[in-house]
Amino acid sequence: MSTAAADRLRDEVRERYAEAARNLTRGEGCGCDCESIGCCQGEEQDLFGRGLYGESAGEVPEAAALASLGCGNPIAVAELREGESVLDLGSGGGIDVILSARRVGPTGIAYGLDMTDEMLALARQNAEEAGVRNAIFLKGVIEDVPLLAASVDVVISNCVINLSTDKAAVLTEIARVLKPGGRLGVSDVVAEDRLGPEERAERGSYVGCIAGALSQSEYEAGLEAAGFTDVSVEFTHRVADGMYGAIVKAVKPGAVEQAVAYASSSRCACC
């Protein structure tokens, strides 16, 4: 994909979610159509958005729950622990950051990263309303995370990685910011391996979280190339023909494992 095309898609995504935030701030609902993930009535509520959080949606302000445009509930699979630091990629209205902040407790910290000013403003408002003090929202893109290397224990995300035009960069950044032994637990739209890029595009738009989805084997290969182990991509529910909401998990090797791997790769042929 050319730089111009990638920039155009990023602008389309930014405007779509900025409009959703503006509508929510005005009390008009998010204004998305069903293809754009979430904010739909009827059956789609079981496929995208707040309906996938179950009782957890009641733990956050209404605006945060309504602003959930994701395809899963990463908090349910992240296994967050007291005192941990967690980063949410594409934090939107802040539902996952607020829930994470409460689970890691006052000795932990939850970061939310988003590129949309309107969503960041909404998320900060929601966190304040929720009484959460250990949440920090950062402006930036998920291909270039504004955090130091090895600074977080867990990375989560909800239906955002598929929107990136450079997924290899995203996975590399996740590996960079995770501490040794850190883990990834995200929800995303993932295609069956039988569907090529053109077939995925036939099922929905890029900004609608469909056309840009990776296949199951592409996700697994991308995570392994970024240095992750214990990689798994598990389909949870169908969102289109051959495409599913999925739980993606992986672990960054610990310090000892990294040292062993480095020693093995550096060993001379005569040894």
The DSSP annotation for 172-196 comes to HHHHHHEEEEEEEEEEEEEE-TT--
Would you identify the CATH topology of the domain 3-266?
Answer: Rossmann fold (3.40.50)
Collapsed DSSP state (helix, strand, coil) of residue 143: coil
pLDDT at residue 16 in the model: 83
Q: What is the pLDDT of residue 262?
A: 40
DSSP per residue, 83-136: T-EEEEES-TTSHHHHHHHHHH-TTSEEEEEES-HHHHHHHHHHHHHHT--SEE
CA–CA dist 214, 268 (Å, integer): 37
pLDDT of residue 163: 92
CA distance 201 to 183: 30
CB atoms within 10 A of CB 18: 15
Domain residue extents for the chain: 3-266
For residue 30, the model assigns a pLDDT of 52
Query: According to the model, what pLDDT value does residue 25 have?
Result: 72
pLDDT at 106: 96
Q: What is the pLDDT at residue 13? A: 84
Separation of alpha carbons 152 and 109, rounded Å: 9
Q: What is the pLDDT of residue 260?
A: 47
Distance CA 156, CA 185 (A): 5
Each residue's pLDDT expressed in tens, for the chain with a length of 271 residues = 788 888 888 888 888 878 877 877 776 555 443 344 443 333 344 544 555 565 555 566 566 666 566 677 888 888 899 999 999 999 988 999 999 999 999 999 999 999 999 999 999 999 999 999 999 999 999 999 999 999 999 999 999 999 999 999 999 999 999 999 999 999 999 999 999 999 999 988 888 788 899 999 999 999 999 999 999 999 998 989 999 999 999 999 986 554 444 444 445 444 4
**CA–CA dist 254, 121 (Å, integer):** 36
Is residue 77 classed as helix, strand or coil in its secondary structure?
helix
In this prediction, residue 18 carries a pLDDT of 82
Residue partners of 126: CB distance under 8 A and separation at least 6: 60, 61, 63, 64, 67, 93, 94, 95, 98
User: Can you tell me the distance from the alpha carbon of 198 to that of 54, in angstroms, rounded to the nearest whole number?
Assistant: 34
